[in-house]
Amino acid sequence: MRTHEQTVQRQFDPRAEAYLASAVHASGPDLAYATELVQQTAAGTGQALDIGCGAGHLAFALAPHLDRIVALDPSPGMLSTVARSAAERGLSRIEVRQGSAESLPFAAASFTLVCTRYSTHHWRRLEAAVRDMCRVLAPGGHALLIDTLGAEDALTDTYLQATELLRDVSHVRNRSVREWRSLLHSAGLAELEHHEWPTRLEFSSWVARMGTPADRVTAIRGLQDAAPREVKEALAIEADGSFTLRTGLFWLRKEA
């Protein structure tokens, strides 16, 4: 019987190249805005940690504006892809390290920037992970958190979480803005900015990227077809199964 961490590795190890090529992950207004924030704040001297780096797109975008960035992920396959792609791009400031978000292998106050993008919905013990993220962040340092958001409406959120889990068994939960604000405040992080953007997920590439089995693809389509009008409208579910959720960005600061 596999643990959750083993499930995450099994899901993502063979799919690193698919995520490297994913247009959803490789671009987007959230990535552009994150780069602008870091460029304005770090001024080329920052020591950063990218938690759950995946195929490395956030690290690639931020590295030119930092002195050093450690790309951390539990998946050896993802880390291998990040290291190779960073070398191909001439990004020598990126280091790769295997590790878990819930138990970061770094001393307290090691980084001036801690960031994560499209990863937190896989974290089993989110509260512990956010506390550890705050622990390794130096006083006065910044935190950048980007992920798809859960719905505030309970009915819509139930359908969204069920769809995500059918597509990817390593999914834990997308948190709503209200949940995130409570969690981040409790960890001692002050919110400086929050932004949201619609993110359309084209159905066929979305399930193909994760290698979702055919029976679960069928189950997702059945769930979408059975969804009430309120859910179909909230998620903008299209005839082919494509749908739209929201990506949220939190820009935060740890009190000095």
Q: What's the fold here for domain 4-152+170-200+245-254? A: Rossmann fold (3.40.50)
Strands 111-117 and 47-51: parallel
Tokens of 164: 């995500």
pTM, 2 dp: 0.94
Q: What is the pLDDT of residues 21-73, one digit of tens each?
A: 787 888 899 999 999 999 988 655 689 999 999 999 999 999 999 999 999 99
- The closest of 125, 137, 18 to 70, measured between CA atoms, is 137
11: pLDDT confidence band, cut at 50, 70 and 90?
A: confident
Per-residue confidence at 6, pLDDT binned at 50, 70, 90?
confident
Q: In angstroms, rounded to a whole number, what is the distance separating the alpha carbons of residues 50 and 248? A: 17
Amino acid at 120: T
Exposed / middle / buried, residue 88 (Cβ in 10 Å: 0-12, 13-18, 19+): exposed
Average pLDDT, the chain: 94
